[in-house]
Amino acid sequence: MLDYHASPELLAGKVILVTGAGDGIGRQAALSYGAHGATVILLGKTVKKLEAVYDELLAQGSPEPAIIPLDLQGATRQHYLDMAETIRQQFGRLDGVLFNAGQLGVLGPFEMIGEDEWDKVMQVNVKSQFLMTQALLPLLKDSAPASVVYTSSGVGKQGRAYWGSYAISKFATEGMMQVLADELENTRVRVNCINPGATRTGMRARAYPGEDPASLRTPQDIMPLYLYLMGDDSQGVTGQSLDAQPDRIRPQAGQ
């Protein structure tokens, strides 16, 4: 695990958007960013979950967050452009985005991947990130130094049998990060990927139903890397794909 201790004020004055902020790793990232002073914009599908995180942020004394209820499955370019405009009007800035929301889809043989299933996973895991990034880049450039963090996976770096469209979508995510980081090399917008590694969440439990969740690290355990990449301590770091749990021994090669 990264030996990084974020200053309590690391993200003070910053506005950070987190997708999939209602559950799992995204929920924890929102709480951690808020605890380090950020105003967090919570984007997700299930409003009730987002409201619960909103309340937790207020209860822990973080700046008042905002909620954007959006199903990435059906969102269009216009939704993202409207969202960017709303953020500009309400906050006047955007210092970072954690692209965390993701769909596991159906695990199974390549020959059995359904076209609908493929489209669904690619829409949420790849296309929505592409459209949202395009819409938000002007804001990020205006607020630079700024940080864009995508979420990858072990199967986004080494293909694995039966991980189908999910694995392929994570390779695409790594590619998007590299292309964008290279293009923005001479700007103050840095772009990186995090591979969380096996983490105790609902998605992990769906992928490995027989596994004892107690054997896994929690979202809170992996926050040092999430904080490091979002805060100014990582200025100059770009185009990297970093493991949140590089020390983890992977008997079954993890997600």
DSSP structure class, residue 121? H
Instruction: Give catalytic status of residue 166 as yes or no.
Output: yes
Please provide residue 212's backbone torsions phi and psi, each rounded to the nearest 5 degrees.
-80, 115
In the set 6, 11, 42, 72, which binds ligand NDP (CB under 6 A)? 72
Please provide residue 67's backbone torsions phi and psi, each rounded to the nearest 5 degrees.
-120, 130
Q: Determine if 199 is a binding residue for ligand NDP (CB under 6 A).
A: yes
Tell me how many residues contact ligand NDP (CB under 6 A): 28
Task: Compute the least distance from the CB of residue 196 to ligand NDP, in Å.
Answer: 5
Q: Determine if 245 is a binding residue for ligand NDP (CB under 6 A).
A: no
Q: How far apart are CA 77 and CA 61, in angstroms?
A: 34
In the set 9, 55, 64, 71, which binds ligand NDP (CB under 6 A)? 71
Task: Compute the least distance from the CB of residue 36 to ligand NDP, in Å.
Answer: 19
Among 254, 138, 124, 134, smallest CA distance to 198 is for: 254
Burial string for 136-148 (b: 16+ CB within 10 Å, else e) reads bbebbeebebbbb
In the set 11, 18, 20, 132, which binds ligand NDP (CB under 6 A)? 20
Binding part of the chain for ligand NDP, among 33-41, 94-102, 109-117, 223-231 by CB under 6 A, reads 94-102
Catalytic residue from among 166, 208, 226, 228: 166
Q: Determine if 96 is a binding residue for ligand NDP (CB under 6 A).
A: no
**Start-to-end CA span in the chain (Å):** 17
Task: Compute the least distance from the CB of residue 118 to ligand NDP, in Å.
Answer: 15
Task: Supply the DSSP string of 214-253, one letter for each residue.
Answer: GGSB-TGGGHHHHHHHHSGGGTT--S-EEES-TT---TT-
In the set 133, 196, 228, 229, which binds ligand NDP (CB under 6 A)? 196
Q: Determine if 82 is a binding residue for ligand NDP (CB under 6 A).
A: no
Q: Which residues contact residue 64 at a Cβ distance below 8 angstroms, ignoring those fewer than 6 apart?
A: 39, 57, 58
Q: Determine if 246 is a binding residue for ligand NDP (CB under 6 A).
A: no
- Classify burial at 188, counting beta carbons within 10 Å of its beta carbon; exposed 0-12, middle 13-18, buried 19 or more: middle
Q: Determine if 102 is a binding residue for ligand NDP (CB under 6 A).
A: yes
Helix then strand count (H, E) for the chain reads 8, 7
The catalytic residue positions are 166
List interacting residues with ligand NDP (CB under 6 A). 20, 22-26, 44-46, 49, 71-73, 100-103, 124, 151, 153, 196, 198-199, 201-204, 255
